[in-house]
Copies of this chain bind each other. A is one copy, B any other.
Amino acid sequence: MMNQLDYFFEPKSVAIIGASRSPSKVGHVIFRNFIEGHYKGRIYPINPNADSLFRLKCYPSVLQVNDKIDLAVIAIPADFVNEALMQCGKKHIPAVIIITGGFKEIGNAKLEEELAKTVKKYRMRVMGVNCLGVLDPYSGVDTMFLPRHKLERPEKGFIAFISQSGATGSVVMDWMGMKGYKVSKFISYGNATDVDEADLIEYLANDRQTKVICAYFEGVKEGRKFFEIAKRVSKKKPIIVLKGGITAEGTRAVASHTGSLAGEAEVYWTAFKQAGVVKAESLEQIFDFARILSTQPIPQGNKVQIITDGGGFGVLMSDWITKNNLSLAKMSDTIIQKMKKLLPPYVILKNPLDVTGDADIERYRITIESALADPNVDIIAVIALLQVPSLTSDIVDVIAEASDEKKKPIIVVSAGGRYTEVLKKALEDFGVPCFSYPESAAAAIRALYEYGQTKMKKREIYGN
């Protein structure tokens, strides 16, 4: 059976209400996204003042279109939105995205309530108001009105991101596009006049392309509903949330931003924890966590083995492992003795295991394989500082092969300039999460470990 929200992401036909010839108009950018992107369905521009746009016939309203419409995108001034929405209802359009702002967030609550009534009357589902809508790299649906030269679009992937704030969401998309991080669905849902964060999380739980659900929001619309859904979904897929407005000052800022109440931080943290939601402290952490959670197996314990070619990075990593309540693995004597025979005498076979500054790929291969085989090791943190002369770019294959077995989580810490960035990108493409700094790597390992703990505990309680 089809879910009504499917129409937002895989519509066979789309009407753009407010499509326009003028490049400065929001409706123009969105219309062009559809005709110039890889969207394969039928497209209907709606504008009473034009006969045709980009060689497509233009209609005065959706009611004149002689075809079934799956999705309508509304990008016209606030005062005209309700009428257009009613026409969508009469046309039996199941899904509508309202880009237009100027409602509750600037004190215009009454106008927004009228829309809510229309939505109910016609049993439509509405995304928005005051949002960017949807970006789906698989179907080509792209209602983001930000020019492509200013905002890069990420490739197809497994990470879904939902954002209450349009600007925050768009920055994150742009940044992911540049970094090469890949996305299953991006959704900016704005004021949540109808569809809210809980609806979206529930939907994404069953989305085959989504392995991890990420969210930025400042408040939830219905606490109880969010909690119940999050609790259920987190057993199936990780949910990572960054909540804005966690201090008194942040909360006051929220009031002017979306008009919603941010609520007490403590209440949220407790509810998140009970629901198995992974809490991110910053935007960067959302994606650090998403990359490790979407690629790595759940570890059996919290014992991390560090393998490094730089002593200083090893020391910093040890510090951060400890600060994140993880522990340093102690490799078994038999395995250490075996390694000793294969490695130069000055390699330090402790934790950190220091393959030293003249390391080659063989030393990494031997030590990573040993750590994989050692039952005393749960997680492997490979620090590969690629500036050293003896390390060739084949290090990528050595690490990717070990990671491919998916026996234990393997992450890489590597920092530097362009040469390093190119090799890190290659590793990321092989599904190995790479971090520039020990602190971010350790925090991500902690998130993976803690999510695993919650998941296992839930299994014990609920079965499955």
What is the interface of chain A, defined by CB distance below 8 A to chain B? 24, 29, 101-102, 106, 145-147, 149-152, 163-172, 174-175, 177-178, 216, 218, 244-250, 252-254, 256-258, 262, 281-284, 309-316, 318-319, 321-323, 328, 346, 348, 350-352, 354, 357, 385-389, 415-421, 436-439
Which of B170, B257, B314, B319 lies in contact with A385, CB distance below 8 A? B170
Q: List chain B residues, Cβ under 8 A from A24.
A: 389
> Are B164 and A312 closer than 8 Å at their CB atoms?
yes
Q: List chain B residues, Cβ under 8 A from A322.
A: 247-250
Which of B149, B168, B248, B388 lies in contact with A146, CB distance below 8 A? B388
Q: List chain B residues, Cβ under 8 A from A171.
A: 310, 313, 385, 387, 415-416
Complex Cα spacing A311 to B256, Å: 8
Taking the closest CB of chain B, its distance from the CB of A175, in whole angstroms, is 6
How many copies of this chain does one complex carry?
A: 2
Q: List chain B residues, Cβ under 8 A from A348.
A: 256
Which of B149, B163, B385 lies in contact with A167, CB distance below 8 A? B385
> Which B-chain residue is minimally distant from A345 (CB atoms)?
B106
Q: List chain B residues, Cβ under 8 A from A257.
A: 311-312, 314-315, 354
A sample of 22 inter-chain contacts (CB < 8 A) reads: A101-B357, A146-B388, A146-B389, A151-B416, A167-B388, A168-B312, A168-B313, A168-B316, A170-B385, A174-B415, A178-B421, A218-B312, A245-B318, A247-B323, A249-B328, A250-B316, A257-B314, A257-B315, A262-B315, A281-B439, A283-B316, A283-B415
Taking the closest CB of chain B, its distance from the CB of A178, in whole angstroms, is 4
Known: A145-B389, A319-B249, A348-B256. A282 touches B437 (CB 8 A): yes
7 further A-B contacts with Cβ under 8 Å, apart from A151-B419, A167-B385, A174-B387, are A167-B311, A170-B387, A174-B419, A175-B436, A250-B315, A253-B315, A257-B311
Taking the closest CB of chain B, its distance from the CB of A285, in whole angstroms, is 9
> Are B150 and A419 closer than 8 Å at their CB atoms?
yes
Which of B175, B352, B415, B437 lies in contact with A416, CB distance below 8 A? B175
Known: A253-B318, A318-B247. A311 touches B416 (CB 8 A): no
